[in-house]
Structures are given as C-alpha cells and as structure tokens.
Structure 1
C-alpha cells in the first residue's frame, strides 16, 4: 500500500483543515494517509510515496521546500493551492513581480499543483505560474451527506448567517455594516466562527440586538439548520467551501463577485457587484425581499458526489490524471 503525507502549517479550524481531515480519514484501499505539521517534515522516514503540501508558500518556507525535494527525489510531491488568487494579489501584494517569482519558483518544486477552482487555475495560466502539464483542478471536498438532514428553510431569507473564520479575508465587517443599514425588516444576523477579527466585529455590531455571535461549531450541518440564507462578502476566495455546503443544505447564498464565487456553474449564489457597505446593503435588501426556495441535497446524491470527488482527488494524488 502506498503512503501519502499531508503537510499543513495552520491547524486553525476552517475549510482547509476540514478538507484535509476528510481526505485523510476517508477509507482508501490503495493508500495510507497521515497529517504532519510542516515544521516536522525532517521526521519523515521512510520516504513516503506521496507528499501533499497544503501550505501557504512563502519566501520563508521556500528553502525547506527545496531541501525536502532534494531529500525525497523519488516521492511524488504535490501542492494544493488553498490561498492565492487573482483577488488576493490585487488587494494584498504591492510588488507583484516579486510575488509571481516566488510562486513560480515554489511551484516548480512540485510534480503537480492542484487548483481548487477553475477561476484560480485560469489566473495561474494567465500569469504562467505553473507549467501547463503540471497544473490540475479539483474542487475542495468535505462530506455533504449530513446536510441532507437539514430541514428546509423559509421561502424568504430572515435568519442570515455568516459562517467561517473571523478574518479580514471573509469580509464579515462589510456584511455587518450593510446589515445595520437595513431597517423595517424582521431580520437576524447569526455569526458562526472564531478568529483574530472577533473583537473588531463585535465592536461593529455593538448595540444591534439582531446580531449574535455563536463561536465555532464542529458540526456544520447544525449551523445551516439555524439560518435561512448565507452571506459571503469575501474579499478573495480560492473555492468557497461554505457556498458549496450552503447549496447542499438548501440555503441560498449572497456572495461577493470574486474569484471562485463568480464561476458560472456555482449554484444557489446571488452576486453583489462590489465590496462597499452601501452596495451590499442594497443587494441584501433585494435578496431578503425575494422568495428563494432551495431544497437540501438528497442523501443519495450527496453520497454519489462524495464518491466521485474522492475518486478525482485520489487520481490527482496518484498522478493518474492526464492533463489537456
């Protein structure tokens, strides 16, 4: 049986850790999976057949990636890009030439780079960040079968949810400011998650009794049972696992027009063409006045999707995918 080691550099609860946990715990008759903190990579012995990076590549960890490549020349090395996108670069990178040099150099260490959305892959191709033969696309994955048990939502969104890390990336500050501008509608805003922006977000929400914080929940399906719709005002989003979960739970999504969230094949999403509180308030008001009826994904469909995506991920990790 082959061995695959998944390297991580951040165990903060969120989409990346949930996906890694699912991939490594799902029964796999062909491969034994494990998870290792990147700082402990030198403990790897014997050489694994497959090394999967779920890291945020940086100038700081580039020397270690090069050393790992030299130490394990026969291991298949794969990088899954969870972090960087076109919108991330536009908002956060001052010296783009230097940043793109970092990405090209880091990605060249690996046998393949997996993008988690087609939007991300299109951006990488446009910037020639990865050799075309080494670039693959495979959406993020978790087990959606539990969402089939979520009761249907009301036809008009009244209980709105913000779900995920309380981090600048997720744009929850935009949603709170927009929500506070809406009056005369019987709405609730429920915020599920934890993170560095918690104090700031609570200050923005202070005095509005319609806004409540519930902290992190280990059971995602329970969260979606408490809301009628989900807001995703993300500043950048490589995939947007919450949007996929919401669709599986039969919850419509109001989302920012960025990266993977604006892909035409994403279902159940209404886009807001901007990131200001004013345009979000306008979009939110219109969204809440509409009748939107979605039904949770059936258990059979969810299980079939899970098996299909697991198969695709395993083919990618094993190198069984033929690039176009």
Structure 2
C-alpha cells in the first residue's frame, strides 16, 4: 500500500476542491492507497466527506512567522510519524516550506515530492525584482522535487521561460465529476450574475465591483459568495442589486449555480480555477478575464465571454449587452466542453500515475 500525504498551508477555495477530487483513487484502487492530510485547523471543514481520522492539523492565524513556523514543525512531525511514500504539496507556501522540511528530514525519511503551485508566485502581478526572487527560489527547489504538476499549458510554458526544467513538469488539467443535472433557466428578468471566490486583488473582485457600479440596468442582480482570506482583501460596499453571502456549503453553491444566468470570473491571475469548471459543468456560461489559463477553458462567444484582465470598463460594457437567450446557448456549449476535456476521472488517473512513476 502506498501512503500519500497531502499538505496545504491554506485550502480555501479551489485548492480544497482539487484535494477532495483526487482523494478518490482511480478505478476503485482504494485498497492500494492510504491518504493523510495536513491542513489548517480552522479550514478542516473544507475537507468534508473525508474521514476526520485521516486529517492532521496545525494552528494558523494568518500568513505570519508564528503560523508558518508552526506549519513547518507540524509537517516535520507528521512526515516522521506517518512515513508517507509521497508528499504532495499544494500551493506556493506549502511548496517552499514543505520542500525545505523534506530536505532537512532526508537522513530519516525520503518520500517522493510532488508539488503543485496552483499558479507560480512569479506569474502574479508584481515587480520584476520580486519575480526574479520568486523564480530563483523555484529554480533552486526544483532540484529536490520529483514532479511539478502544472494545471494549465500557460503555466507550464511560463515556468519554462523562467527557468523551470520542462522534464520536471507535468500538465494535468483540473477536472470535475460529470453532473447529470443541468441549470434551470427561467424567464426574461432579472438576469442573475454570480461571483464565487475570495475578496482579494488576485481574484479581481475590485474589478467586478467597479464594473457593476457602472452598469445602469435594473434587470441585473449580483450575488457574491466568499470572504476575505488574504491581507489584500477588497471592501464589500453596499450596492443596489448586490447580495453578499459568506462561504456556504458546496450544496448551497450548487444551488446558486443552478439559479444563476452567468458566472463572473474577473481574476488577474490563476492556476486553473475550479469555480468556472463547476459552473460550466451545470451549463452556466462564464464571463471571464483573459488572464493566464482562463482562455484555455472559456472561449469567447463559444462557452462564455472574455474581457481584458483588470479592465473594469470592458467588463461593464459586456454586462450592458448580455441577454438571457445568448447566455443559455453559451452555457449548453460550455457544459459539453467540460464533459469532453476536463473530467475528474482523467485528472485522477494522471495524478496517480505521477505518484506511481519512478522517482526522478
């Protein structure tokens, strides 16, 4: 039996969805794998459906020195106690700290190290100096990494341009389970818009608020689902036609997808977002920015609409034009695309193939 340890410094949003998805082994091979998880205590509930006896936790009060040191200490303890064959690190902070911890533990334990950045730090909007520092860290740590999983072709190509060796990288698109049910379309008015995600700069939440404020349409309603997770959170001002909801259960999110007419994804950068996949699987059209990987999922005029990242005026102009019949047609095509190209079964099989491959 092969033991897999999933490690995440924070799992709010899409990372939790990815971990839950790949917690199902391919083709009923559960007897061949044992899964263990290390996640923040206050985010443990994000791993709903997973046996609590498999979950290890650490105290997280934010992205500060105390929390990061506590994460590193607990990871070292878990690796020594659980003796995993594979350590799968999710996101940048887990990737940096986790690989350093694994290097220090090498005299005692030497698991295979799999790293999925879910968007490299050097792909974020930042100064050239910061990008050079981030890419240097990644270039150094790649030497102790067996496989780096990239979730989009954009991410893989950009990482290669920054000096990450292609032979260490593997493209595995995020996938989603097939949905038998389809979105229920209703009458002409109003048009229900939906945003699901963090209230921060990366997710472009400020772009959505500025665009919506410019649109003078009484038939548009916007539901905002999420919360602030990082320090660069955006305020949520009261606006006519806007309803704010905190993080809700997956079942409640599914119900919101079912009722919405369009999903707004205004991100400035992404690894490969799960939210548009979830919506499209139910036939929900997506209005997305053209950042990083999103054009690999959302095709303009085919499965949704695309606007320039960070351009609230362009988003406002698009929202002024949308109509329900066209949105419904886009949603139907988007559902077909997800079913054919972005299945959970394919994602699971490719991930477990990486676990089973010989060490680099």
Deviation string, structure 1 residues 205-256 (Cα, Å, up to 9, x no partner):
x2x2201112112223222012111011101111011111121010111111
Q: Contact (CA 8 Å) 1:192, 1:223: kept in 2 or not?
A: no
In structure 2, the CA distance between the partners of 1:256 and 1:91, relative to structure 1 (3 Å rule), is farther
In structure 2, the CA distance between the partners of 1:184 and 1:308, relative to structure 1 (3 Å rule), is closer
Extract unaligned runs of 5+ from structure 2. Answer: 40-70
RMSD between superposed Cα atoms in Å: 3.0
In structure 2, the CA distance between the partners of 1:321 and 1:179, relative to structure 1 (3 Å rule), is farther
In structure 2, the CA distance between the partners of 1:265 and 1:86, relative to structure 1 (3 Å rule), is farther
Q: Contact (CA 8 Å) 1:6, 1:51: kept in 2 or not?
A: yes
C-alpha separation between the residues in 2 aligned to 1:212 and 1:189?
Answer: 6
The Cα shift of 1:85 comes to 6.0
Q: Contact (CA 8 Å) 2:291, 2:309: kept in 1 or not?
A: no
TM-score w.r.t. structure 2 length?
Answer: 0.76
- Report what 2:83 is aligned to: 47
- Report what 2:202 is aligned to: 169
Residue 259 of structure 1 aligns to a residue whose secondary structure is: coil
In structure 2, the CA distance between the partners of 1:262 and 1:87, relative to structure 1 (3 Å rule), is farther
TM-score w.r.t. structure 1 length?
Answer: 0.84
In structure 2, the CA distance between the partners of 1:116 and 1:92, relative to structure 1 (3 Å rule), is farther
- Report what 2:184 is aligned to: 152
Q: Contact (CA 8 Å) 1:4, 1:48: kept in 2 or not?
A: yes
Q: Contact (CA 8 Å) 1:51, 1:78: kept in 2 or not?
A: yes
C-alpha separation between the residues in 2 aligned to 1:297 and 1:50?
Answer: 34
Q: Contact (CA 8 Å) 2:262, 2:286: kept in 1 or not?
A: yes
- Report what 2:57 is aligned to: none
1:188-267 to 2 correspondence within 5 Å? 188-196=221-229, 200-203=234-237, 206=238, 208-219=239-250, 220-263=253-296
Which of 84, 96, 100 is the equivalent residue of 2:131? Answer: 96
The Cα shift of 1:2 comes to 0.8
Deviation string, structure 1 residues 252-311 (Cα, Å, up to 9, x no partner):
11111110002277672321024132222112223347712223858xx59x93323211
The Cα shift of 1:94 comes to 3.6
Residue 108 of structure 1 aligns to a residue whose secondary structure is: helix
Which of 46, 67, 79 is the equivalent residue of 2:104? Answer: 67
Q: Contact (CA 8 Å) 1:255, 1:271: kept in 2 or not?
A: yes
Larger displacement relative to structure 2 (37-46 or 132-141): 37-46
1:304-323 to 2 correspondence within 5 Å? 305-319=343-357
Residue 191 of structure 1 aligns to a residue whose secondary structure is: strand
Deviation string, structure 1 residues 21-75 (Cα, Å, up to 9, x no partner):
23225564321111124532222235321111114147666642431445433x2
Q: 2:109 matched to 1:77? A: no
In structure 2, the CA distance between the partners of 1:16 and 1:277, relative to structure 1 (3 Å rule), is same
Query: How many aligned positions are there?
Result: 310
C-alpha separation between the residues in 1 aligned to 2:183 and 2:277?
Answer: 17
Extract unaligned runs of 5+ from structure 1. Answer: none
Q: Contact (CA 8 Å) 2:200, 2:233: kept in 1 or not?
A: no
- Report what 2:20 is aligned to: 21
- Higher relative contact order structure (alpha carbons within 8 Å, sequence separation ≥ 6): 1
Larger displacement relative to structure 2 (15-24 or 274-283): 274-283
In structure 2, the CA distance between the partners of 1:175 and 1:79, relative to structure 1 (3 Å rule), is same
C-alpha separation between the residues in 1 aligned to 2:229 and 2:222?
Answer: 20
The Cα shift of 1:200 comes to 4.1
C-alpha separation between the residues in 1 aligned to 2:114 and 2:173?
Answer: 15
